[in-house]
């Protein structure tokens, strides 16, 4: 890396569950430094350490404890070039457009712009080429173009991470997904304890739609400035379970070919993506780990593999209905939110998409500057 100074970034929605995870992951980041944090009017103008209901298992990073919470507006975070958005969806839509219009690279966890035809919806190991779709956007002015990039839904990320190697090797036709989703997925304050403890809630608003729709775009093909959706058919049933972090998915999958189980396992184990080839700071050495044993993966044991960035897969076996079935586990606030978005920001930086920062400055000459 030849960066003289780290790239100043703003975290939007810094008081929430995902915002806190961003600040934790960004604390010692080699390329980015948190220069500003924002929240709602309820919190702005106050010191972060006095305001946040901190819920991470490590202390508030000293570098942000004394920062003042700014309004969620580009003028309030002048000097930053990147905005990592952990905004509630009630605020993210227009706020993220305002930041892009002001020339920011916006990397968002919110649902609002995921399905916009010109907005990349990216899992960096799965569809990095979709970043080129951002060229269709026209935010900002000629001298200060802004861009919006989006991270998929937290369960979709685990789903497509497991499916992408199977699609590449054997062709993907149908998926049946039952999710067991952690309470941290509902943000702060989240699910009331009387609903969460000793219970399962068999409904998460909008979640099944996202799992059924987003894979079409992520696994789709970029052609002539637009995504041709992948035709996979997905049926999802989503449940909230009393787990703090880590979304589990029980999947049955129909593939075009009929590989044996060893071939399926080999496809997952060989899977690597552009983040691994580029050596991006948040890239896990192995995006997928296949676990042996009849009782893996489990959230408490396996959600932190690869610092929370590795997707765990286990219980691969034949399915009498669709062909194969297996269990996937992904850390929802790391890989499924802040960590995934951070990796996406790193990939964008490595491709020269951060205003005023050349690709070579962060990753050396091999990355090139084309998106
Ligand atoms: N939790 C997950 O596992 C997960 C995973 C993937 C994606 N996401 C998505 O990521 C986003 C954040 O999720 P979360 O779980 O962190 O939610 P959260 O805990 O409820 O945090 C929401 C954040 O948005 C801020 N906010 C709310 N209304 C605002 C407004 N009108 N103007 C400016 N800021 C406002 C809040 O600030 P105050 O504290 O001032 O209210 C807070 O910082 C959501 O869009 C969510 O769907 C979450």
pLDDT of the chain along its 371 residues, tens only? 556 789 999 999 999 999 999 999 999 999 999 999 999 999 999 999 999 999 999 999 999 999 999 999 999 999 999 999 999 999 999 999 999 999 999 999 999 999 999 999 999 999 999 999 999 999 999 888 999 999 999 999 999 999 999 999 999 999 999 999 999 999 999 999 999 999 999 999 999 999 999 999 999 999 999 999 999 999 999 999 999 999 999 999 999 999 999 999 999 999 999 999 999 999 999 999 999 999 999 999 999 999 999 999 999 999 999 999 999 999 999 999 999 999 999 999 999 999 999 999 998 765 444 33
Integer angstrom CA distances of residue 113 from 58, 85, 107, 155, 177? 31, 12, 11, 17, 24
Ligand 1 pocket, mutate which of 13, 45, 122 (most atoms under 8 A from CB): 13
**Residue ranges around ligand 1 (CB below 6 Å):** 13-19, 39-40, 42-43, 72, 86-92, 109-111, 154, 184-185, 187-188, 332-333, 336-337
Nearest CA to ligand 1 atom 41: 40
Per-residue confidence (pLDDT) for residue 1, from 0 to 100: 52
d(CA 309, CA 356): 28
Integer angstrom CA distances of residue 135 from 307, 347, 370? 32, 16, 11
Cβ neighbours of 146 (radius 10 Å): 25
Nearest CA to ligand 1 atom 8: 109
Domains defined for the chain, CATH in brackets: 7-152+336-367 (3.40.50.720), 154-330 (3.30.360.10)
């Amino acid at each position: 890396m030849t960066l003289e100074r780290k790239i100043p970034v703003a975290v939007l929605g810094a008081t929430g569950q995902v915002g806190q995870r961003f600040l934790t992951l960004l604390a010692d980041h080699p390329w980015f430094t948190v220069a500003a944090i924002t929240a709602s009017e309820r919190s702005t103008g106050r010191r972060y350490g006095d305001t946040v209901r901190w819920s991470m298992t490590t202390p508030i990073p000293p570098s942000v404890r004394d920062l003042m919470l700014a309004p969620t507006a580009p003028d309030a975070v002048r000097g930053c070039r990147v905005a990592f958005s952990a905004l509630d969806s009630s605020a993210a839509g227009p706020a993220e457009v305002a930041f892009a219009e002001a020339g920011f690279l916006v990397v968002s966890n919110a649902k609002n712009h995921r399905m916009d035809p010109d907005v990349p919806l990216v899992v960096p190991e799965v569809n990095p080429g979709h970043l080129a779709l951002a060229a269709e956007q026209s935010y900002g002015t000629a001298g200060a173009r802004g861009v919006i990039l989006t991270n998929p839904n937290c369960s979709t990320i685990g789903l497509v991470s497991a499916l992408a190697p199977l699609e590449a090797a054997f062709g993907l036709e149908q998926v049946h997904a039952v999710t067991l989703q952690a309470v941290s997925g509902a943000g702060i304050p989240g699910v009331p304890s009387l609903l969460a403890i000793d219970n399962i809630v068999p409904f998460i608003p909008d979640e099944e739609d996202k799992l059924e729709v987003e894979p079409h775009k992520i696994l789709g093909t970029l052609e002539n400035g637009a995504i041709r959706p992948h035709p996979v058919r997905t049926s999802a049933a989503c449940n909230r379970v009393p787990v703090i972090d880590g979304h589990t998915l029980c999947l049955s999958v129909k593939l075009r070919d009929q590989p044996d189980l060893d071939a399926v396992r080999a496809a997952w184990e060989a899977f690597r993506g552009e983040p691994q080839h580029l050596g991006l700071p948040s890239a896990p050495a192995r995006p997928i780990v296949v676990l042996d044993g009849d009782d893996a993966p489990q959230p408490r044991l396996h959600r932190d593999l690869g610092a929370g960035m590795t997707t765990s897969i286990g219980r691969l076996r034949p399915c009498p209905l669709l062909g194969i079935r297996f269990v996937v586990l992904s850390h929802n606030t790391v890989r499924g939110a802040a960590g995934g978005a951070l990796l996406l920001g790193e990939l964008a930086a490595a491709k020269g998409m951060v205003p005023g920062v050349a690709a070579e400055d962060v990753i050396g000459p091999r990355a090139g500057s084309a998106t």
